[in-house]
A and B are shown apart, each in its own frame.
Chain A
Amino acid sequence: MRTTLIARGAAVAAAAAMVALSAAPASAATVSQASATALSLELAGTGARDTGTYAVTNNGSTESAEGTNEPLITALGGQDAIHAGTLAQDAVANKDATSAACAGLAGDGATLVAAGSGNCLSGGDNISLDAASLDFSDVELVSSGLFQGVDQQLITALEEAGLSQTAVTDPLSAALKDVLAAMGDPGLHLDLGAVQSSCTADKDSASGDSSLANSRAYVTIPTVGDVTLVDLPVDPGVDQKVVTDLTGVTDAILDALRTQFTNALNGALAPANDGLDQLQTQVLDTALGQIESQLAPLEENVLDITLNSQDTAPGEITVTALDVKVLPAAQEFVGGSLAHLTIGTSHCGPNSPVTKTVAKNPPKAANPPASVPTVVTAGMESYDDGSAGRIALVTLLLLAAAGAGVATYVRMLRRG
């Protein structure tokens, strides 16, 4: 399955709504305003989907609202990326020229909190979001290149043993296909706790923040299991970029190929009595080098993840908790379309008819006064990775097998 996400259209629509509100002339008696969009995504070829934007304004005496502040996951129909969870998007605009908004996503069981208190989601289970599937079907061996640089004497020895070069390269190509088939289409997932943003604004300035609870990106490989790409920070800095390194995935593929290639070469070269060890080494290195170079884009960066994205203007701010795109470098492995997803977009202000002073939201982590750790909590009492249970199970099986053997032997003695 190739699932791809693009939310550019949805994000643009949401942003347009915000800009429309923001651009409303102050003379139109808009004293305060805010808006929130819980989630937006677009599937390649099937259009944009989002939870809509809940937007409020206050004219100094009355608050008006557009959209819904009770978004439902079911509104995101026609997509396979996300099926369950609790959405939140809420905003308030007060006549005293203050406003607040919050937006986000959490797993089932989360508690909703009204805007104005910072976060609007509390607790809840984690939720798994299918970002994409990796596709390795285009990875191939260039058979003609496998013997480049190989000693002519070895080629001659190969021919003297009655073997053609094809007899060596064909088993390698077959082994590559087998390994990649076993790998399947590894899924690229986001495991998310409560992901949310919030903002507040008054007549002078605006500020916002984001938080992500227990969130990570990981890949599921059928033959390996889950490989964590990156743990997302709970309290990210402003516009914090996160790099997803798939070295663990490429290492798993190369390890499997090394074994399979070695077996294939042993079989192919068996008719040559001396095994042609040098030839085997040279061809193996060349073949693995070919594959490694093809997988290189995965070792750079696959997902362009921005946390706590903040866009500020005098007296107003837009905060997006999580923004995810699949980078072009990885495009060949995740299908033909880019993926883009945004979660938790909150917008506050501007809230005064007078000209605002520029109040660029102060970044939390930027230029901190030499912030260093003062506590290092690097001790644990115990850790159970499940190995004790596995060892106990194996021991029980061995004991059972030994018992069965003894019983059989005793029966044989009795019969004898």
Chain B
Amino acid sequence: MVLGGLVWPGGSAAVEVPPGAPKRLELPGLNTKAKVVPIRLDGEVLDPPRNPREIGWWVGSAKPGSAQGQTVVTGHTVHTGGGSLNKLDHIEEGQEVDIVTKDGTFQHQVDSVEVLSRKELAEQAQRIFGQDHGDGRLVIITCTDWNGSSYDSNIVVLAHRFNALPRVQKKS
């Protein structure tokens, strides 16, 4: 029984891409690609990888391709540049966001871009990060609103999955 994953017609035979841990996040509209590594909660704090060029996948969230829950990834915005999600404040609704696993690529389309204060994020944490809803939605989050010494807000991008492309196998 297949609980997750997508079946997508590929020629005469349907090809399934099973849910799997994310390896890479790609935002073609922002010319951004970054490696994804697993991260865990520290209490109620989600802290991206130490390397600001990498993206963190919260292991408590759904794997890409899952039929339930939502996949949560986060990366740094670096005030002086170089963060994996420095350009996220330029993303727009309708743009494509892809997440790559070892078995294929899950394509998403941005539904909303929200800027939330830290207080608002905490108040809406269940809606944004809860795993009892979402139907495989992708959640991308980083910081914004640099005040000269720290960041006041978070950008939250929500995207629904519309396609799955199996990994192309090399001919042998």
Contacts of B37 in A (CB 8 A): 231
Nearest CB in chain A: distance from B7 CB, A: 24
Number of A-B contacts (CB under 8 A): 116
Q: Which of A233, A285, A376, A385 contacts B154 (CB 8 A)?
A: A376
B80 within 8 A of A: yes
Q: Are B151 and A293 in contact (CB under 8 A)?
A: no
Q: Which of B50, B85, B146, B171 contacts A378 (CB 8 A)?
A: B85
Question: Which residue of B has the minimal Cβ distance to A370?
Answer: B130
Q: How many residues of chain B get a CB closer than 8 Å to chain A's CBs?
A: 51
Q: Are B172 and A372 in contact (CB under 8 A)?
A: no
Q: Which residues of chain A from 201 to 240 have a CB within 8 Å of any chain B CB?
A: 230-231, 233-235
Q: How many residues of chain A get a CB closer than 8 Å to chain B's CBs?
A: 31
Q: Which of A247, A290, A293, A378 contacts B143 (CB 8 A)?
A: A378
A292 within 8 A of B: yes
Contacts of B144 in A (CB 8 A): 379
Contacts of B171 in A (CB 8 A): 149, 282, 285-286, 289
Q: Are B143 and A376 in contact (CB under 8 A)?
A: yes
In the complex the two chains form, what is the Cα distance from A385 to B84 in whole Å? 14
Q: Are B52 and A383 in contact (CB under 8 A)?
A: yes
Q: Which residues of chain B from 116 to 140 have a CB within 8 Å of any chain A CB?
A: 118, 121-122, 125-126, 128-132
Nearest CB in chain A: distance from B84 CB, A: 9
Known: A285-B170, A380-B78. 6 other contacts (CB 8 A): A293-B172, A373-B46, A374-B125, A376-B143, A379-B76, A381-B78
> B interface vs A, CB < 8 Å?
23, 37-38, 40-42, 44-50, 52-53, 58, 60, 72, 74-80, 82-83, 85, 102, 118, 121-122, 125-126, 128-132, 141-144, 146, 149-151, 154, 170-172
10 residue pairs of the A-B complex, CB under 8 angstroms, read: A230-B38, A372-B126, A372-B130, A374-B121, A376-B141, A378-B47, A378-B48, A378-B142, A380-B77, A381-B149
